[in-house]
Amino acid sequence: MITVRDVWRAALPEGTELLGGGAGLDRRVEWATTLRTRPPAFEAIKGGEMALVTVASIRLLDERLDLADVMNGLAEKGGVAVAVVGDASPASLGVAERRLMPLLRLPDGAHVSEMQQSVVRFIVEQRTVLHERAQLLQMELMQLALGGAGADAIVRRLGEITGRAVAWHDGSGRLRCVVGDLPSGVRDALGNGEELLRWAAGQTVPAADPPVNEFGLPRGRSRLVAPIPGRDGVHGFVSLIAEEHQLGQLDRVAVARGASACAIELDRERAVLRARDDLEGELVAALLDGSYGSEEGAAERARRLGFELGQRFSVLVIRGRNAGTAALDTVTVTARRCLARSASGSLLANHDGAVCAVVLEAVTDGEDHTRLVAEALRADCAAALRDEVIVGVGRARSGAQGVRQSHREAEHALRISTRLKAPRWVATFADLGLHRVLVAMTQHSEMEDFYQQTAGALVAYDERTGSGLMETLDAFFHCHGSPTDTAQRLHLHRNTVLYRLRRIEEIGGLRLDDAAVRLNLHLCLRIRDVLPAATGSRAAAR
């Protein structure tokens, strides 16, 4: 594609000015024609023509016409630009802006017939050169893509061939790679991919010939951008960067061919990742439900995926507030990117409406590496979902059985944290304190019986009346038995707190000045954190 901008820069004489219609400079030019002084005004217009017009000759064609009329007629037949010798009327400038038809003024003394020959010669020569260059570019870049060199290698080679700085963004608009020296302000501007995403949203992107557009950059730079086509949408963007007015049609061909080569490479990478995802998902599911067969067999399957079950690891469970399929897919993709950046070894799979990650421990300078990874996962996934995300972390284990054990602990940590008044967004089982002991006892009926005998009457009364006696009791213990501090904590009057404390003693048959009674009630409040909701209600109803 040869554009109006290309013709202006390379085929028209120095001193040619753009008067209006700059938004159409990237329209495609197929040929050049001149205004005739007898009807028809132009030879057969097939679309894509640039017209070269001497303003003074318009009256010779028809005294009723002016430049604006000529431009409107040309636009209706498919013309894309006009270059004139002479003065342009205000009306013609308005047509240029409305029609997105660049209006260029040639230097005084220019001959339109010579300019037509110059433009036609440029178009023909460029088509020949572009075709040859496109073939060579495509051959070299496609060899890299088919050889599995990687998108970074393709981008580097594109920079070597063109002598331009090159960048590529992934499908989310994130800058992944820059090749070549650029001023800091320009590099910073490349980091914002929102402009590229908005442009690509309105484009049809064929795999063999992706569209190309020019975007301005700070400090007198511009970039030519082509989207990387994929089977399920745009997979990224390739950009060539240079000083303004230096990027020509050869650069357009190069960036389009680079995007096509990257498309092949990224499709191949995605196929490999999909296959790995399937294998990881099957292995993690088998480890979690205990259907993996032998320890040796599970260890070998993990080893093929680059993970050593014999090393110590922790299981992390990532849950968003929205458990829908789209949200789960977003968390999965985001978590995989985060782990590739922050964890030296991991397995990842969807399980029971959450994302389950098995992360190897790493040696750090006194820092809890697993917690750092969990915090990074939570932050990235919350930003991607724009919603709350909580991460549960099991204790470090090893071996096939350790996956199931650490996963169970991570789920316990999640469940307990969500029931606490101040939930932890990264809930670590090792930090649960007393709750760890209580979790281990949830399978014993004695704990439920103890809970029912000590606090069952209070829980049942709260469920019937909504009086908040258990909440008051919890706040009372947090405030070390001070009714005044309890009232402040609950935003109640002190007399209201005293009344509720008397009701607790009456309904439960308890004495709050008895240390043993207070210990039992405090323990029941913590048991309530770990008992499943259905179990707690059933116990209270007895």
What is the predicted pLDDT for the residue at 534? 36
| Overall average pLDDT of the 211-224 stretch | 87
Question: Which amino acid makes up residue 270?
Answer: R
Q: Which pLDDT band, with edges at 50, 70 and 90, does 174 fall under?
A: confident
Q: Can you name the residues that pair with 426 across neighbouring β-strands?
A: 391
Tens of pLDDT, residues 75-129: 999 999 999 999 999 999 999 999 999 999 999 989 999 999 999 999 888 888 7
Q: Please give the radius of gyration of the chain, using alpha carbons only, rounded to the nearest integer.
A: 36
Q: What is the mean pLDDT of the chain?
A: 84
- Regarding the domain delimited by 290-428, which CATH topology (the fold level of the hierarchy) does it fall under? Alpha-Beta Plaits (3.30.70)
Count of CB atoms situated within 10 Å of the CB of 148: 12
Report how far residue 109's alpha carbon sits from residue 86's, in angstroms, rounded to the nearest whole number: 9
Check if the beta carbon of residue 226 is closer than 8 Å to that of residue 212: yes
Q: Which pLDDT band, with edges at 50, 70 and 90, does 536 fall under?
A: very low
What is the predicted pLDDT for the residue at 363? 61
What is the predicted pLDDT for the residue at 304? 86
Distant-in-sequence, close-in-space partners of 290: CB < 8 Å, separation ≥ 6: 404
Check if the beta carbon of residue 35 is closer than 8 Å to that of residue 52: yes
Alpha helices in 16-111 (DSSP H): 58-61, 67-76, 90-99
Q: Pick the closest to residue 424 from 375, 470, 476 (CA basis).
A: 375
Q: State percent of the chain over pLDDT 90.
A: 22
Instruction: Please report where in the chains the tokens 């008067």 appear, as a residue.
Output: 19
Q: Pick the closest to residue 225 from 247, 243, 208 (CA basis).
A: 247
Distant-in-sequence, close-in-space partners of 331: CB < 8 Å, separation ≥ 6: 318, 320, 355, 381, 384, 385, 389
Question: How are beta strands 175-179 and 165-170 bridged, if at all?
Answer: antiparallel
Question: What are the residue boundaries of the structural domains of the chain, listed by start?
Answer: 4-124, 148-269, 290-428, 439-541
DSSP string across 90-118 = HHHHHHHHHHT--EEEPPTT--HHHHHHH
Q: Which pLDDT band, with edges at 50, 70 and 90, does 20 fall under?
A: very high
| Overall average pLDDT of the 295-309 stretch | 88
As given in the structure block, the two tokens for residue 68 are: 């604006």
Size of the chain in residues: 542
Task: Kindly tell me if the per-residue pLDDT of 177 is higher than 50.
Answer: yes
- Regarding the domain delimited by 439-541, which CATH topology (the fold level of the hierarchy) does it fall under? Arc Repressor Mutant, subunit A (1.10.10)
Q: Which pLDDT band, with edges at 50, 70 and 90, does 134 fall under?
A: low
What is the predicted pLDDT for the residue at 537? 42
As given in the structure block, the two tokens for residue 481 are: 């038995």
Count of CB atoms situated within 10 Å of the CB of 431: 14
Count of CB atoms situated within 10 Å of the CB of 506: 10
What is the predicted pLDDT for the residue at 265? 75
| Overall average pLDDT of the 302-317 stretch | 90
Pick the range with the lowest mean pLDDT from 30-44, 74-88, 286-300, 438-452.
438-452
Tens of pLDDT, residues 429-452: 887 777 766 766 766 778 888 888
Count of CB atoms situated within 10 Å of the CB of 303: 12
| Overall average pLDDT of the 377-381 stretch | 89
Q: Pick the closest to residue 394 from 386, 404, 383 (CA basis).
A: 404
Which of 164-178, 407-421, 426-440 has the highest average model confidence (pLDDT)? 164-178
| Overall average pLDDT of the 445-463 stretch | 86
| Overall average pLDDT of the 299-325 stretch | 87
Distant-in-sequence, close-in-space partners of 537: CB < 8 Å, separation ≥ 6: 463
Task: Kindly tell me if the per-residue pLDDT of 1 is higher than 70.
Answer: no
Distant-in-sequence, close-in-space partners of 212: CB < 8 Å, separation ≥ 6: 1, 224, 225, 226, 252, 255, 256
What is the predicted pLDDT for the residue at 128? 81
What is the predicted pLDDT for the residue at 538? 42
Taking CA atoms, 5 is separated from 16, 326, 523, in Å, by 12, 43, 78
- Regarding the domain delimited by 148-269, which CATH topology (the fold level of the hierarchy) does it fall under? Beta-Lactamase (3.30.450)
Choose the CATH number for 4-124 among 3.10.20.30, 3.40.1390.20, 3.20.20.70, 2.60.120.680: 3.40.1390.20
| Overall average pLDDT of the 282-290 stretch | 88
| Overall average pLDDT of the 376-405 stretch | 89
Tens of pLDDT, residues 342-368: 777 789 888 888 899 999 987 665 567
CA 496 to chain centre: 52
- Higher pLDDT pick, 440 / 381: 381
Edge-to-edge order in the sheet of strand 426-428 = 346-351, 354-360, 313-320, 389-393, 426-428
The helix/strand/coil state of 344 is: coil
Q: Pick the closest to residue 524 from 441, 408, 466, 467 (CA basis).
A: 441
Q: Which pLDDT band, with edges at 50, 70 and 90, does 269 fall under?
A: low
User: Which one-letter DSSP state was computed for residue 24?
Assistant: G
Check if the beta carbon of residue 41 is closer than 8 Å to that of residue 57: no
What is the predicted pLDDT for the residue at 273? 64
Report how far residue 170's alpha carbon sits from residue 231's, in angstroms, rounded to the nearest whole number: 15
Q: Can you name the residues that pair with 237 across neighbouring β-strands?
A: 169, 227
As given in the structure block, the two tokens for residue 513 are: 């000045």
Report how far residue 88's alpha carbon sits from residue 55's, in angstroms, rounded to the nearest whole number: 8
The helix/strand/coil state of 407 is: helix
What is the predicted pLDDT for the residue at 339? 86
Check if the beta carbon of residue 343 is closer than 8 Å to that of residue 359: yes
Distant-in-sequence, close-in-space partners of 204: CB < 8 Å, separation ≥ 6: 211
Question: How are beta strands 103-105 and 81-85 bridged, if at all?
Answer: parallel
- Higher pLDDT pick, 146 / 6: 6
Task: Kindly tell me if the per-residue pLDDT of 390 is higher than 50.
Answer: yes
What is the predicted pLDDT for the residue at 21? 94
